[in-house]
């Protein structure tokens, strides 16, 4: 009986271990496939053309610069909203609001995070962009601004959730110490509590950025789909096209194996690498702060 139990145990251990490694396998698989279908684009399209400012695939113009700037302007705009609103709300929930309010509002904010982005894009088309068009007297409401506002709204719940957890984790003794030294609650928040939660808040922001960069549907529905270079300050009031929207909009109409197909995969590869970089940066922040904490406590 002992022998057969041993055999079963070994088998189960092997199966479980294989499943454990699966995440690594999948990341490599995704990377490999993006490479496989995206790299041919580098052979088929001259690098100069790829980096040009004209994205017009029908006439074989594959300049991805407008798409990059489109993604950039929308992401930056979204972060300009998400950072103050995200951290501000997190500070409010953690440091200022009474307990009962926090118990109601925190789940409410998380509820927004669970909303499918296509629903937000839908509201963006029907409500937000007509409003912007009228309010700001623009030719169309489908602009980078609409995208930034929606993306900000999508990034805020993630940011609030994680930042609020980080602030909540700061030991009460820090706050009490500052107050005992004569600081006001306000000063305590900004000079003691927030800096103490710095790594958690940074992580929250990075994850918010990650969500923003990767968002597809909402931006596709409200940013207007005009692949033009967005480098002027006023570009935020014009239509743009992001990398993600480009892939989503054009992939369905593309011939399998064509240059256009390969270039779209190449854009996907770029997105993959950007999110990889953001995630590694975020996890090294956490790792560094943990090492620092270990040194301090030992």
Q: Which of residues 120-139 bind other proteins (CB under 8 A)?
A: 120-123, 125-127
Structural tokens at position 228:
């033009």
Please say which residue, 30 or 231, places its beta carbon nearer to other proteins: 30
**What's the distance, CA 67 to chain centroid?**
17
Alpha carbon distance 10, 297 (integer Å): 40
Q: Choose one: 51-59, 214-222, 227-235, 289-297; the region binding other proteins (CB under 8 A).
A: 214-222
By CB under 8 A, the count of residues binding other proteins is: 86
Exposure b/e, 38-60, CB count within 10 A at least 16 = b: bebbeebbeeeebebeebebeee
> Residue 37 contacts by C-beta under 8 Å, 6 or more apart in sequence?
261, 262, 265
Out of 39, 97, 179, 228, name the contact with other proteins by CB under 8 A.
97
For residue 287, the minimal CB distance to other proteins (Å) is 9
Out of 112, 138, 196, 228, name the contact with other proteins by CB under 8 A.
112
Alpha carbon distance 282, 183 (integer Å): 32
Note whether 98 binds other proteins by CB under 8 A.
no
Q: Choose one: 8-16, 39-47, 165-173, 290-298; the region binding other proteins (CB under 8 A).
A: 8-16
For residue 211, the minimal CB distance to other proteins (Å) is 8
Q: Choose one: 60-68, 100-108, 131-139, 192-200; the region binding other proteins (CB under 8 A).
A: 100-108
Out of 74, 91, 148, 155, name the contact with other proteins by CB under 8 A.
91
Out of 80, 276, 292, 293, name the contact with other proteins by CB under 8 A.
276
For residue 232, the minimal CB distance to other proteins (Å) is 26
For residue 61, the minimal CB distance to other proteins (Å) is 21
Measured CA distances, 294 to 136, 285, 291 (Å):
53, 14, 5
Q: Choose one: 46-54, 58-66, 193-201, 260-268; the region binding other proteins (CB under 8 A).
A: 260-268
Out of 103, 134, 184, 258, name the contact with other proteins by CB under 8 A.
184
* Residue of 236, 217, 254, 273 lying closest to 39 (CA atoms): 273
For 55, the enclosing helix (H) or strand (E) is strand 55-56
Q: Residue 48: what are its φ and ψ, rounded to 5°?
A: -60, -40
Measured CA distances, 41 to 36, 79, 179, 269, 297 (Å):
10, 32, 61, 11, 52
Alpha carbon distance 243, 65 (integer Å): 10
Q: Choose one: 44-52, 55-63, 111-119, 192-200; the region binding other proteins (CB under 8 A).
A: 111-119
* Residue of 46, 61, 44 lying closest to 259 (CA atoms): 44
Q: What angle do CA 210, 214, 218 make, to 5 degrees?
A: 120
Please say which residue, 7 or 234, places its beta carbon nearer to other proteins: 7
Of 226-255, binders to other proteins (CB under 8 A) are 244, 247-248, 251-252
Please say which residue, 238 or 242, places its beta carbon nearer to other proteins: 242
Q: Choose one: 119-127, 133-141, 193-201, 228-236; the region binding other proteins (CB under 8 A).
A: 119-127
């Amino acid at each position: 009986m002992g022998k057969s139990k041993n055999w079963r145990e070994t088998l189960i251990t092997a199966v479980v271990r294989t499943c454990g490694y699966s995440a690594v396998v999948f990341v490599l698989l995704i990377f490999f496939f993006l490479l496989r279908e995206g790299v041919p684009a580098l052979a088929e399209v001259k690098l100069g053309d790829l980096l040009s400012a004209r994205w017009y695939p029908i006439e074989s113009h594959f300049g991805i610069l407008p798409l990059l700037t489109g993604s950039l302007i929308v992401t930056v705009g979204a972060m300009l909203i998400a950072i103050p609103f995200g951290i501000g709300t997190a500070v409010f929930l953690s440091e200022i609001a009474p307990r009962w309010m926090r118990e109601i509002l925190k789940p409410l904010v998380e509820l927004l995070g669970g909303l499918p982005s296509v629903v937000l894009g839908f509201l963006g088309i029907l409500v937000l962009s007509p409003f912007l068009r009228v309010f700001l007297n623009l030719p169309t409401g489908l602009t980078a601004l609409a995208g930034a506002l929606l993306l900000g709204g999508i990034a805020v719940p993630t940011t609030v959730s994680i930042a609020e957890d980080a602030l909540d984790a700061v030991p009460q003794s820090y706050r009490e110490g500052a107050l005992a030294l004569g600081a006001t609650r306000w000063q305590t928040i900004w000079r003691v509590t927030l800096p103490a939660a710095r790594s958690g808040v940074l992580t929250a922001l990075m994850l918010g950025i990650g969500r923003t960069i990767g968002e597809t549907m909402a931006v596709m529905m409200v940013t207007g789909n005009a692949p033009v270079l967005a480098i002027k300050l006023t570009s935020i009031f014009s239509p743009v096209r992001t990398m993600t929207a480009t892939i989503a909009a054009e992939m369905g109409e593309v011939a399998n194996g064509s240059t256009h197909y390969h270039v779209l995969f190449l854009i996907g590869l770029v997105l993959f690498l950007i999110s990889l970089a953001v995630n590694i940066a975020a996890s090294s922040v956490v790792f560094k702060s943990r090492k620092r904490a270990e040194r301090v406590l030992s």
